[in-house]
Structure 1
Amino acid sequence: MKSTLLAGALLAFATATSAHAQAIKLADVAELSGGGATVGTNWKNGIDLAIEEINAKGGVLGRKLEVTHADSQSNPGVARAQVQKALDAEPYVLLGPGYSGSVKVTAPLAAEAGIAQIMGGEAAELTQAGNKFLFRTSFGQQSSMPKVAKYIHDDMKAKTVAVVWVNNDFGRGGRDVVVKELDRLGSKVVADLSTEAGQVDFAADVGKIKAANPDAVFVYVNEEESARILKELKRQGVTAPLMGETTLIGQKVIELAGDAANGARGHVGLTTDAPVDLIKAFRDKFAKKYNYVPDHNGLKGYLAVYMVKATTEKMGKVDSKAFADALHGLTIKAADEPGILMDVTFSDTGDIDRQSFLVEVVEGKQVVKQVLPKVK
């Protein structure tokens, strides 16, 4: 009897150990503290929500997903160290970081390890260096900024534009593309203002904008700084229409800026206010779990995990070395994988093509004004 019980216990232990060993392990490195804490926390929560959903339905190819989270502290040097540590554990896929500067210094590490990296960075240069292991969850600046410039020129009818940007990889990349496009279209940049990450006082910058008297203002700084500059623009009575990208009209910006955000417009690849049923359902699930409305970073983290699921199921196997090749050129339809939320195609460079939106903040909410179709 004792031997039977012992054999049963050993079998149960072996089964549990085997099941644990079969878990598909993901590693996430994100901005959980520092200036990018809003970005990283939303990203992390989106990841956790997706993993919870997928595991509740049996996992991926019958295997559960597991993730480890590490804090980059919004610092590229720390991000690099955390990514190296994560790669040493040989994850199936690396998730993050969100900041372009941190992606820039970590991408070579993942590529050298042959591990696919699904990240939140939007700087144009990230996917233009020939790295075959790097993938976006949102539009790169080379895709989004021409749309922004066109809207400023064609819809806002702006002949003169003030450009305000944050002096980091993210800000410089967006600034360079939009200024080039504005010039090509015939809109003159009359103020070109560099600001710093974490900057608190924008009085002098807004004073320069007011003195330039532009037809429109393009604002491209991080979320917390966007809220501060919106407040200062209102305080100094700048009435020129405001245009930006996701970081100007995100949920956190609206909460921090209050009524100063009203009227701001932006092009967004992702918004929880999109007129898409699957995105509305995501927003409700996220808000129920975390007690706040997510921004686009929550969507990015959620989508990153479903990219892993859809690609792995397409391959029919868990093979980290084959993952990147399988994702290149892949089209994932929401009808086949609802967690991807909208039909999306991945290019050979790791960039994406899908619907995007032009939105305006009206009475503290993002209102979608236009739905822009996939390019192809």
Structure 2
Amino acid sequence: MASLKFASWLAGFALAAALALPAKAQQAGQTVRLVNVSELSGAGATAGTNWRNGIDLAVSQINARGGILGRQIQIVHYDTQTNPGASRAAVQRAIDEDAYAVLGPVFSGPISASMQIAQRAEVTQIVGGEAANLTRQGNPFIFRTSLSQAAAMPKIAAYLRDTVKATKIAVIFVNNDFGKGGRDAIIPELTSRGMQVVADISTEQGQTDFAADAIRIKNSGADAVFVYLNEDESARFLRAARQQGISVPLVGETTLLGQKVIELAGDAANGARGHVGLSIDAPVPAFQEFGRQFRERFNTTPDHNGLKGYMAVFMIKWATEKMGRFDRKGLAAALRGATITPAMEPGILITTRIEQNGDLDRESFLGEVVNGRQVINVTLPMLRPAGTQ
């Protein structure tokens, strides 16, 4: 019911005004400033652009309904260039400009390099990264918009053993914070379930040729491959795997089944399987309506990063309205430990629990690429059902 209400609510924004605010609305005291620092160029541009567009869609909808506590949102975007140093500079600039909250980055490396700046300023930072270590450093101002690797990897390992029936796994990962964190999280889950890791292959961010890696995997005797690469590299690997005749299941996390990967890999993406944290193809009417609105506005199909950016803004809206005031330090306290349902805030799209350390718990999905589109096969429950402590 809540999802249907959301669809009706969201449809009313089809004719919403553009993001540019009237001059009067920009005056001091009438706006709340959010700063997005994301990967708009460089290796992370696919993810960062989807994230930014999701944010812009949310801002336009909230502003069309009167803003947050009567204030219009002023959104500013800074490009981190997928560079840790530029990310630190962008977050510092956001703090210097008195941002109410910081959104981004998306990639785990730039997040790790910049998160202490927002923490020292006691400013809430809502990020798109999945690396498990981000929320293990005692930072009370960091929050995710996605499931962490620690939450996702047990589900993937169980899928490989129980559904794929694999016993020998080849692991291929990108050598950055995201990839190394995923590799370090999945291997213990595989071995604890009796599966053998027969190849453990590190690749580079921005790598263009995966032929040698595909040959090594083909010769390893693996009966399934766990793929944990960024979007562009995932597509290149899928093409290389097809060219080398790899026929065993290729299984990954959300990125492997993403829309951009499907577009870049073409037919080579068909058959890729995996765990999906967020997807407009999931059997959630609110996700599907979001996808329709996103395509209408940006003339492109969103991936999970678009959903994450969108929901991040609504997390801020919900917590601020719950407090009844604008309080930068209090914003983090309002989010921590909260459970937000679509009935409470339609823009959150799906019941979401925010753990004390900033991790999330919510339903997720298993899917497969079939005939060039992502098909969701199974809905997986929250790790802790709603209403439990």
Q: Which TM-score band applies after superposition, normalised by the shorter structure?
A: over 0.9
- AA paired with 1:111? Q
Instruction: Give yes or no for the alignment of 1:149 onto 2:164.
Output: no
- TM-superposed CA distance for 1:105, in Å, is 1.0
Q: Which 4+ runs in 1 deviate beyond 2 A?
A: 15-22
Q: CA deviation at 1:268?
A: 1.1
Per-residue CA distance 1:234-272 (angstroms, 9 max, x = gap)? 111010001001111100000000110001001011011
Question: Structure 1, residues 308-341: CA drift from partner, whole Å, max 9, x if none?
Answer: 1111111111111101011001111112211100
Distance in 2 separating the partners of 1:359 and 1:336: 29
Counterpart pick for 2:210 among 202, 217, 241: 202
What is the Cα deviation at residue 16 of structure 1? 3.5
Q: Residue by residue, what CA displacement relative to the aligned partner does 1:285-306 show, whole Å, maximum 9, x if unpaired?
A: 0000000100001001100100
2:264 aligned partner, one-letter code? L
Distance 1:326 1:21 in 2: 22
Which residue in the other structure is 1:226 paired with? Answer: 234
Q: Deviations over 1:160-212 (max 9, x none)?
A: 00000000000000001100100100000000000000000001100100101
TM-superposed deviation, 1:17:
7.4
**Aligned counterpart in structure 1 of residue 147 of structure 2, from 139, 144, 147:** 139
Change (3 A) 1:186 1:310: same
The counterpart of 1:93, out of the listed 101, 117, 120, is 101
Deviations 1:74-120 (A, max 9, x none): 11111111111111111110000001000001110000000000000
Once residues 285 and 213 of structure 2 are traced to their aligned partners in structure 1, the CA distance between those partners, rounded to angstroms, is: 40
Calculate percent identity across the aligned residue pairs.
56
Where 1:237 maps in the other structure, the secondary structure is coil
Aligned equivalents of 1:307, 1:16: Cα separation in 2: 26
C-alpha distance 17-217 of structure 1, shift in aligned 2 (>3 A): closer
Alignment of 1:106-185 (within 5 A): 106-185=114-193
Select between 135-144 and 77-86 the one with higher mean Cα deviation: 77-86
The CA deviation at 1:375 is 1.5
Structure 2 residue corresponding to 1:317, chosen from 321, 325, 331: 325
* Aligned pairs, number: 362
* 1:104 and 2:115 matched: no
After TM superposition, give the deviation of residue 19 of structure 1 in Å: 4.9
Shift in Å, 1:215 = 0.9
Q: Distance in 1 between matches of 2:53 and 2:72?
A: 18
CA distance in 2, matches of 1:224, 1:356: 23
Aligned position for 2:250: 242
**1:9 match:** none
1:55 aligns with 2:63: yes
Give 1:23's match in structure 2, choosing from 2, 8, 31. Answer: 31
1:276 paired residue among 273, 284, 288: 284
Q: Distance in 1 between matches of 2:234 and 2:30?
A: 44
- Structure 2 unmatched runs, 5+: 1-22, 385-389
Q: TM-score, normalised by structure 1?
A: 0.95
Amino acid at match of 1:135: F
**1:66 and 2:74 equivalent?**
yes
CA deviation vs aligned residue, 1:39-79 (integer Å, no higher than 9, x gap): 11000000000000000001111111111100000111111
1:188 to 188, 193, 196: 196
Match of residue 11 from structure 1: none
Distance (whole Å) between structure 2 residues aligned to residue 344 and residue 39 of structure 1: 22
Is the 8 Å Cα contact of residues 275 and 365 (structure 2) preserved in structure 1? yes
User: Which structure's residues are more often helix, by fraction?
Assistant: 1
Matched, 1:339 2:347: yes
Q: By how many angstroms is 1:154 displaced?
A: 1.2
TM-score by length of 2: 0.92
Q: Equivalents in 1 of 2:26, 2:112: separation in Å?
A: 37
Residue 317 of structure 2 is aligned to residue 305 of structure 1: no
